Chains A and B, each alone.
Chain A
């Protein structure tokens, strides 16, 4: 059981390390956001919040963003496996669909965590400081849960998709809104009703809020509540994913 999960995990990590362009390319976007938004909206944020530091607000949001995109992407890699035929190899093996789901979720989540940690170090270079080691530890828990949830979501979606055609659709109509309406870039206050509502049913909202509460000391819902919400959602998405995986025809 453990060894099966380990080998599935290991395979994904090998793919990640061996694809240096992907590794570097996926750092470009967070860096761009940090610099342009950080400097662009910094002064506005400072005057609106009465002297707040926008980087403190933005850094957890951008870390979450990089985790979100990396995690979803790792989940969707299953579709590639299907197109190149490798998915069959795993699916006909005498291993439970739950093992496959756990192995793939942990693999994708680990990669997303690494990516998140690299971005977190970038924010350090730009001047963001975490309050204490304890906050960092709690922050890592949130990063991990965000990674798990969105890898699981990617896998669940991938198990229902036959080819890469739907990829853009998922990106533009699901993942992008999830990102922009999560409070990663701007505070979720004084919003129009519709946007307010969507932001509250956006799972990433609770991840970002929790991470921000943990490492920057600013939270809307309370860190504990965030932890419960994102924790439960992760369990839920993985359970649904394992069920969908048992229906997959390779």
Chain B
């Protein structure tokens, strides 16, 4: 099988703090790949580099055969993304947001209306399409972002904690649709989530990142076997420890506050 995404020695530094340290991995075309890790591990930073939002400090990325750093437009045309943090225009209606997306992603005019309708129906927002996004609930906004990413059938879809804050009904409906897209259209899915049972249920391949480094990767079965655990959640806890992360404190602050950084390998 071919790799739709290939990452080599990817590193990102924010001032003197290294958020992503020299990671390398491949994602097979047509697979579902889960990128897991505790808060602040570097998942979103990695996704932002993969999707041209952030410039890597060093390293190579290729998506669908295009060099993400040099052939940005071709790479951009190959992926879709649902960011972790909000990215909707609240002063527009849901429908206007999604039309905007369809146009800038060059969805053929003939197919536009139908695809938009379908995407909004999947997330149950078709009847609320004329509402302003600012009047939506948090979960509705999230559903709209997911629907939006589904209108331009990308080759690879990045989902950064897509189902956070959603009710179980919606989560089920979204995952079953995403799996459908994966099976029928061969769309590769790259996701992050903190719900281990979701990852266990959908992912073909898993990589676990902690403190900016990939510490484990493989199929769910392989990881469970290697860690001698019964579930992905146990394996995850065993690999990453049970401490809560001092999220959002960079090295600089740590030094300034005199907090000694726990060093792990």
Interface residues of A (CB under 8 A from B): 3-4, 6-8, 11, 14-15, 18-19, 84-86, 88-96, 249-250
Contacts and interface: CB of A to CB of B under 8 A. Distances in A.
Closest 3 CB pairs of A and B: A94-B77, A94-B76, A93-B104
Contacts of B81: 92
Contacts of B74: 94
Interface stretch (B83-91, B185-193, B220-228, B253-261): B83-91
A94 B154 CA distance: 11
B99 interface: yes
25 contacts: A3-B103, A4-B104, A7-B100, A7-B103, A7-B104, A11-B89, A11-B96, A11-B100, A15-B91, A84-B86, A84-B89, A85-B83, A89-B88, A89-B89, A89-B101, A90-B104, A91-B52, A91-B53, A92-B53, A93-B76, A93-B105, A94-B74, A94-B76, A94-B106, A249-B54
Contacts of B103: 3-4, 6-7
Interface of B: 51-55, 73-74, 76-77, 81, 83, 85-92, 96, 99-101, 103-106
Contacts of B73: 94-96
Contacts of A89: 87-89, 100-101
A19 B92 CA distance: 12
A18 B91 contact: yes
Given A88-B87, A92-B53, A94-B105, 10 more contacts: A3-B103, A4-B103, A7-B99, A84-B89, A85-B85, A89-B88, A92-B52, A94-B76, A96-B73, A249-B54
A118 B189 CA distance: 51
Contacts of A94: 73-74, 76-77, 104-106
A88 B90 CA distance: 14
Nearest to A87: B87
B104 A95 contact: yes
A11 B87 CA distance: 15
Contacts of B87: 85-86, 88-89
A11 B92 contact: yes
Contacts of A92: 51-53, 76, 81
A92 B106 CA distance: 13
Nearest to B89: A86
A85 B87 CA distance: 4
Given A4-B103, A85-B87, A93-B76, A14 B55 contact: no
